[in-house]
Amino acid sequence: MNQRFLFTLIGALLLVTIGGMIALNHLGPQEPEQATAMEGGGQPVATTMAGNPETGVTGQQPTETVTNEPMAEPAPDGPELPREEWDNQIADLLTDTTIEHREAGQKLAAIAAQNNAPEEVRIDAIQHALNLIGDEEYMEDMMNLAVRSDIPEEMQEIIFSDLHNRPQEVSVPVAKEIARVKDHPLALEAKDFVEFFEDDPLMEVGSPAAEN
């Protein structure tokens, strides 16, 4: 055999061997990485988490966010209690010298707001609450209860009657809010009350324009 041909053949074999080793070294690490990604889920991790940068869509479904406008709702009702316990709560608040008048009034108003309390208890509580809550705190402490249409009618009359003893800067805004509640039994009386103090009369009770 020609010696030059033998050297050429050996050189070619060496080149093929070296090229094969380089190819194996380049492809070899891909297998364990893919195997690791496939463990447990049967799907590559990169595929699960990747998202479209233009649409912002990811592999996970977006959580829908629902926002509600704030609403003036009654406080959650407390547990059912015997009449005697309600009376004791009121008596304790009236005789507790460790709390301020406003705090006692707020707690009494909270009792009056309880739909599951006996009506007589609620009436008693609201009368005491109105005596303890000052003009400066009235808008914050009593407004929500004053505009409720689901409380006993006698309670509504007590609250509305109390407005006549409040300064105009308190009574008129509260009466306006009552007048805007369509199903409030005293909406018309509240409208008349406001018109007595204001040059511009309120529009029709409950109308959208009256709320502006």
Over the stretch 96-124, which tens digit does the pLDDT of each residue have? 999 999 999 999 999 999 999 999 999 99
Instruction: Choose between 89 and 9: higher pLDDT.
Output: 89
Which of 120, 179, 188, 195 minimizes the C-alpha distance to 155?
120
* Interval 135-163: pLDDT, tens: 999 999 999 999 999 999 999 999 999 99
pLDDT score of 64 more than 50: no
- Can you give the pLDDT at residue 199? 62
pLDDT at 62: 42
Q: Tell me the pTM.
A: 0.57
SS3 18: helix
pLDDT bracket for residue 55 (50, 70, 90): very low
Q: Which residue has the higher pLDDT, 203 or 191?
A: 191
Tell me which H or E stretch contains 194. Answer: helix 187-197
How far is it, in rounded angstroms, from Cα 95 to Cα 109? 16
pLDDT of residue 93: 96
Q: In whole angstroms, what is the distance from residue 125 CA to residue 113 CA?
A: 9
